[in-house]
Structure 1
Amino acid sequence: MESGYVLNGRYKIIDTLGEGGMANVYVAYDLILKRAVAVKLLRLDMQDDARAVRRFQGEAMSLTELTDPHIVMIYDIGEEQGLQYLVMEYVKGMDLKDYIKQEFPFSLPRILEIMQQILTAVGDAHAHGIIHRDLKPQNILIDQDGNVKITDFGIALAVSHSTMTKTNTVMGSVHYISPEQARGSIVSKQTDIYSLGIILFEMLTGHVPYRGENAVAIIMKHYQEAMPSVRAEHPEIPQALENVVLHATAKDLRDRYASVQEMATDLETALSYRRAEEKPWVPSFKNEDETKILAKETPVAATPQADAVKAANSAKPQSPAPKTAKKKRKWSRKKKVILLLSFLAVLLIGTGIVYAMIPQDTTVPQLQGMTTSEARERLTDAHLKLGKISQEYNDTYYYGQIISSKPKVKTNVKEGLRIDVVVSKGPHKEKFGDYTGRQYQEVKKELIKKGVTVQQEKVFSDKIPQGEIKSQSISAKKKIVLNETSVTFQVSKGTQSFKMRDFSNYTLKSVQDYADEKGLVLNVSHEFSDDFDEGLVMRQDPPEGTVLNQGDTINVVLSDGAQKESSEDDKDESSSSSSSESSESEQFDLTVKVPYQQNDGKKTNKIEIYIGDKNHQIDKVYQSLEISADQTMRLPFELEDGKKGAYKVVRDGQVIMQKDDVTAD
């Protein structure tokens, strides 16, 4: 995206901040709020991936819930011409990778300060069910005040299915990837903890623990090689602090910290003198994936049973002894001893075989969070088998992860037993439902109990009562996970109130435009005036400053100008010698019924009334109003003797009533 482009008519692109395998980041200027922001756009090659786009939007929405000050704030989420974008807080500073290069070595208290801020931010995300999956120094920003700001939440989630297929993306994250990610297993919150351990190692040593010629070589080391010793390079580092690294980067999930809170608690006292004599941390569970070094073959230890068998097998046949009583007795004793020893050896060996065939005791291992294939391997190591697999919905474990086992973990059982497991089907989804027309406060309480994040946008409405829901951001039929959903309701503020304007000397068009804009019903009448020019407003009702709402009626009186004096007829010489008589006039009211007509769904008709008499001209509007039902009106006439009046009624631009011979009779 080029510099100068204005995204969504609001965000003016200034420059490129970075380009990654998943998204490109730009610094932009918010033209409305007058501030610098960071704009992240999902890459063009990801725009056609419906799953990636859907998850990008869903996860981005959930990120708006994160409020920790050490997480980059999300300002806006949108789409323009198929481009999915996020608008975020712009952080002036550098990423942790550059910070380490510039500042290393830096003090241990400063390292702990940075790590505690990171752990606080990640803990907030985990509390909202969000796993970063791509924690690395490049995604951790240090602002100009030295504070941590973690970014790239959501992008890693949205494109997790594509991450391992793009080499350039893997190379950026491979140094911090967990063993379970390297195997392609389902990740958990402990995945982020492993990455945090690698980041701590790098801050302590200035480099990553595993290096290789390519990504594959580094990945192999993550789940095959033990973590290098921090103290081997820097003996001044306390053993307790190195233990935090070892504990966080344990290969087996059972050995690794269970939560970032647990890691933070351990890290907090790592520099305490009370832990000065702490021994190196050792994992409880052996990593079966570690490179195995085969020992040289060693001779079998001698045992009485082995000696007996050896003696039995190595005994040589004896030549027939002379048939003397003495030698016969001697051979018989030898033979008896050999036979006895051989019998004992066979008996002991047989007993051992029988013992080996009897199932021995073992313990059910921890299987929670594993896939069935991982569980099968773990059970095999414990001389057990995978039994019946059942499924159920679960909000804690992802789809495919084991929720529980039967018998339970650490139960003593016999070898060969089949262990039944319950596997997660993921969070339960249900239709969101239609809440329009209901009271917002009532709906809010109901949904919050179900774990939904509820927000409102207040709008004016002349049709929906105040406090009722006008619309909702989620379709009623859409199936969602309630405790992972955020919804925004448009809530009616009722009719919009405003103060009446002073229309003195306004034209009819100006008044009509104002009435249309505010949703008012306008009534117009005319009078002669020596003080106001023709066509301008003389009076109004209600007066200026009156509080009005949509749908209210206002009345204005327009000036017809000064009343003209009637001219005298030419006087007939025979009759004008003395004086002329003035003509007489008659005043009366005429009642007309104006019918309402429903037209194209409109709820009102615009009515215009024209009067022709001594005081009004038939080509000028006498009165203008809107009606929503039949209305009876009284039209005032003043006619000179022998003259006739006229009137015309126009409804929505069409003449519906007209009469040109109005008289008092």
Structure 2
Amino acid sequence: MRTGYTLNGRYRIIRALGEGGMANVYLAHDLILDRDVSVKLLRLDLRDDPSTVRRFQREALAATELLHPNIVQVYDVGEENGMQYLVMEYVQGTDLKAYIKDHFPIAYQEVIEIMEQILSAVKLAHEHNIIHRDLKPQNILIDPQRVAKITDFGIAVTLSEHSLTQTNTVLGSVHYLSPEQARGGMATKQSDIYSLGIILYEMLTGTVPFEGETAVSIALKHFQSEIPSVRAVDANIPQALENVVFKATAKRPQDRYPDVAAMATDLKTALSPSRAGEERFDPAGDDDGETKVLPLSALSSLTAADHAAEADATPAATAPQPAATAKTATGDAADAATAKGRYRKRHPRRFRFIWAAVILFFLLVGILIGVALFQPQMTSVPNVVDRKQASAQTTLTAAHLKVGEIHRTSSAKVKLHRIIRTEPRSGTQLKRNTEVDLWISTGPQRYKLNDYKGDAYASTAAKLQALGFKVHRESVHSTSVPAGRIMQQSVSAGQKVIPKDTAITFTVSTGSQTVTLSDLTDKTKTQAQNYAAGHNLNLAFRYAYSNDVDKGKVIRQSPGEGAVVQEGDEITLTLSRGPESKGPATDQFNVRVRIPFDSSSSSTSDADASDSSTVASSATENLIQIYLKDQDHQLSSIYKQMTITSDATVTLPFTVASGKAGAYKIVRNGTVIAEDKHVTKD
């Protein structure tokens, strides 16, 4: 389908995403809902095939029944000009096969998290009596947030469909095929569980358990050979986690998990220290007692052999018996003569059998010699893991093998420039001169750190620890950052580091600290301001005449002595003007001033430079200093100091002689942002 074509007047094709055996997939844009979607379109050469159309429609039916965050959602199904199509959720990212290749080795906890998502999706399908039958990494998509989504229910079968209508054709990928499917039996829910076990094996080892020259040879291994140990590849894998692989891939379906929910429950605790001493899982037996499906050629051979045996038996049963010899006086001689006659009569037949056996023997010997002469010479893949590339190439050449593709990937266990693994794996029998691919270590995978300021410490620390980081915490009080949130990190955002070699320290807010107020009465304004600065409190001043308290000292405070307040709270102090005296009339009025918040500036004064909480929160606070000039204040001293985290409005009280003017100045983080030198009542 060409780029720009609009399907059904709604889905505009952008580009091709991939081609499959049954359908092609395109990226398209939904013009109505304004979103990108995936469009699966049945191939042109298959539109006249009724069975393929039924399979395609079955996928639509199966997928529309399943609404789950880990299943690719189907939005629309339709047909246009004979074209069958599905419109599905577009998942950015890659499939699990490529994800394993790019990220191997994957942390065990991440493996479990991805598998739990897959198991949750398959559980829903099984609850709807839908068997996927083709579970494999290529059918599992991973988005940038590491959310797994299962797709391609094209060969899914509901249990309600009559089993006799199904053929023994194997539709799933042979590397993930259950033994019962390999024998030609029907797929069950336990067949999906087997495939899930193979997927878990591949995520832990980076490869599938069985390889072979042909699909038939791989299928034979699935029901004849034991699943290899994942701990033989990585000895650090806990036995409990390996047991999940063994139980899911047991040869007999009844030895596997009864359902995917049981597998998910077992997998969830596989890394628990309480299961550290778990013994290796050993199923009850290997033979499930099912009738094995034999190839047609073998069945024909058996039939031919039965006919040959019957043909040999018939003459012996119907041959005429020799006539009885009359008894005479010379009975013994007669008997001897009779026996000799019988021997002479049967002697040629015995020789015919002997000659046939000899001929058959030499014929078999000739066949064996011919097979030995003409069969390809085989060799075994040597173990070159942990060697340098040049050494590995020399060893492979000595084993009559060629070096195939060179892949480079990170590894936390294998040193830089050394071999991580080969494909096929060591010990595999191959024809001479077959290519063997090499995976070479680029060293430990480096992780790019994010900016974690403002994030929750608990979840951030858990995520980084799972990746191998050493995480430390330092706690400080803050009036602007909520408790439990990160204020500062010791390793800058954007740096690429090796997790297991990196320790990162987070400065974490414990929230604001409580303050029990002291008695501030009879203190000077300067003393009160020093007390407030030392306890992260804001002050507001009022003035009153007093015959008992000296001018400039605190008459009263609100809240009073002993009150418990939070850091950042405002305390109101009433200062004495001294005794009231007759003088010129005064005007008293208030002026409201709006103070805008500046998110790009910092608020670290010299006095607070040593306060870690002030430094850490500088990007989220503004330091505001207000200066007043009236009867009670001079512009040379601070009237009020406060911190703001957003736009604020303050009310400034003025007392001036009638006909006179006051003034104010507002400083934000050391810069004057508002000033009025002529403030009057009007």
The TM-score normalised by the length of structure 1 is 0.41
The TM-score normalised by the length of structure 2 is 0.40
Highest CA radius of gyration, 1 or 2?
1
